[in-house]
């Protein structure tokens, strides 16, 4: 009898213990599920609330504000609207020229030499201090045209040099243009004074303006220069930045392109390449 009672009590105790253990297990499982659910919900909420900064933004507004970086921190934002002319008038990459000699299609008041440069491909015309350069052959510029060239500058110093380019009325070159801004139309890239200077005597009143720039951005690198002339308007671009868009030109005058160098930096070298002129068709 006592054995039976003992077995009954033992069975009841075990049943109760198993029930308590199962209850505890279920309770723990429930807590884990609830915690996992809360974490999942939090992740969803956070992902929806976070800005999509990792996604590339190709909106127009971002493209317009791109002028606020790089060399032109204070440049008023202007649309980059350059389009090359449709008909080639003149092109020269100096590949047909011998190294160490003056480029065959160009002339100057003194010196020039075709070089290869370690940091870039192709051949380059090295510009010398106190020298102005023009295309040797007769190239008549139409009323509407584009000009492109690559301007490469290297220096170990702060870049104490100035590059002028623009248009005058003489085909040849007899002397260096020390004061190039006095020519009919001139653009000055002053690495020395950190600015671009624009001057024109072809319009009334005469125009002269400047754009501040951190020119160290372009030293030991290539600046892609583009000029568009259409009617009396001239646009000027450096890389992907539009620097000028105004009346600078008298379309009735004959024009010849020039480029000139004033260099007080013994370590500096200045080159041009990939030069081309294209006519804009009506």
| pLDDT tens digits, 249-276 | 999 999 999 999 999 999 999 999 999 9
Lowest mean pLDDT among 69-73, 209-213, 221-225: 69-73
Residues with Cβ < 8 Å from 226, sequence gap 6 or more?
Answer: 82, 146, 147, 148, 236, 237
Q: Model confidence at 213, in pLDDT bands (50, 70, 90)?
A: very high
DSSP 8-class letter at 234: E
Cβ distance 257 to 147 under 8 Å? yes
Q: Quickly tell me which residue has 């400047």 as its tokens.
A: 210
Strands 112-116, 123-127: pairing is antiparallel
What is the DSSP code string of 68-93? Answer: GSTT-TTPPP--------SEEEEEE-
DSSP 8-class letter at 192: T
**pLDDT value for 24:** 52
Q: Model confidence at 7, in pLDDT bands (50, 70, 90)?
A: low
In a 3-state reduction of DSSP, which class is residue 207?
strand
| pLDDT at residue 17 tops 70 | no
> pLDDT tens digit string along 101-152?
999 999 999 999 999 999 999 999 999 999 999 999 999 899 999 999 999 9
Q: Quickly tell me which residue has 């008023």 as its tokens.
A: 76
pLDDT, mean over the chain: 83
Q: Rounded to two decimals, what is the model's pTM?
A: 0.76
User: What are the structure tokens assigned to 187, written together?
Assistant: 């653009």
User: What are the structure tokens assigned to 49, written together?
Assistant: 């609330």
70: left (phi over 0), alpha (psi -120 to 50) or beta: left
* Domain residue ranges in the chain: 1-53, 64-279
**pLDDT value for 83:** 96
Question: What is the Cα–Cα distance from 282 to 271, expressed in whole angstroms?
Answer: 33
Question: What is the Cα–Cα distance from 20 to 6, expressed in whole angstroms?
Answer: 21
Question: What is the Cα–Cα distance from 109 to 90, expressed in whole angstroms?
Answer: 22
Q: Model confidence at 90, in pLDDT bands (50, 70, 90)?
A: very high
Instruction: Give the right CATH number for 64-279 from 3.40.50.800, 2.60.120.200, 3.40.50.1360, 1.25.40.340.
Output: 2.60.120.200
| pLDDT at residue 227 tops 80 | yes
| pLDDT at residue 80 tops 50 | yes
Across 146-172, average pLDDT: 95
**pLDDT value for 84:** 97
**pLDDT value for 28:** 52
Cβ distance 162 to 260 under 8 Å? no
**pLDDT value for 59:** 34
Pick from 115, 185, 189, 172: which is nearest to 138 by CA?
172
**pLDDT value for 153:** 98
């Amino acid at each position: 009898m006592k054995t039976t009672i003992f077995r009954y009590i033992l069975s009841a105790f075990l049943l109760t213990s198993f029930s308590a253990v199962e209850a505890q297990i279920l309770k723990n499982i429930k807590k884990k599920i609830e915690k996992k659910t809360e974490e999942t919900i939090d992740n969803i909420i956070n992902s929806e609330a976070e800005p999509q900064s990792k996604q590339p933004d190709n909106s127009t507004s971002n493209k317009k504000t791109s002028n606020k970086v790089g060399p032109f921190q204070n440049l008023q934002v202007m649309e980059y609207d350059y389009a090359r002319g449709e008909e080639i008038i003149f092109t020269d990459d100096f590949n047909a020229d011998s190294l160490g000699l003056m480029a065959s299609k160009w002339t100057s008041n003194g010196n020039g030499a075709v070089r290869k440069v370690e940091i870039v491909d192709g051949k380059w015309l090295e510009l010398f201090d106190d020298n102005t350069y023009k295309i040797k052959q007769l190239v008549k510029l139409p009323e509407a045209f584009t000009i492109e060239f690559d301007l490469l500058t290297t220096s170990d110093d702060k870049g104490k040099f100035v590059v002028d380019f623009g248009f005058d009325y003489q085909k040849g070159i007899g002397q260096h243009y020390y004061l190039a801004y006095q020519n009919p139309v001139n653009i000055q890239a002053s690495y020395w004074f950190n600015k671009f200077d624009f001057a024109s005597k072809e319009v009334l009143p005469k125009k002269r303006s400047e754009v501040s720039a951190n020119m160290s951005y372009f030293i030991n690198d290539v600046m892609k220069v583009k000029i568009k002339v259409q009617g009396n308007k001239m646009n000027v671009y450096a890389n992907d930045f539009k620097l000028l868009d105004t009346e600078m030109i008298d379309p009735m005058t004959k024009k010849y392109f020039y480029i000139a160098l004033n260099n007080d930096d013994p370590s500096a070298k200045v080159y041009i390449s990939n030069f081309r002129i294209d006519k804009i068709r009506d």
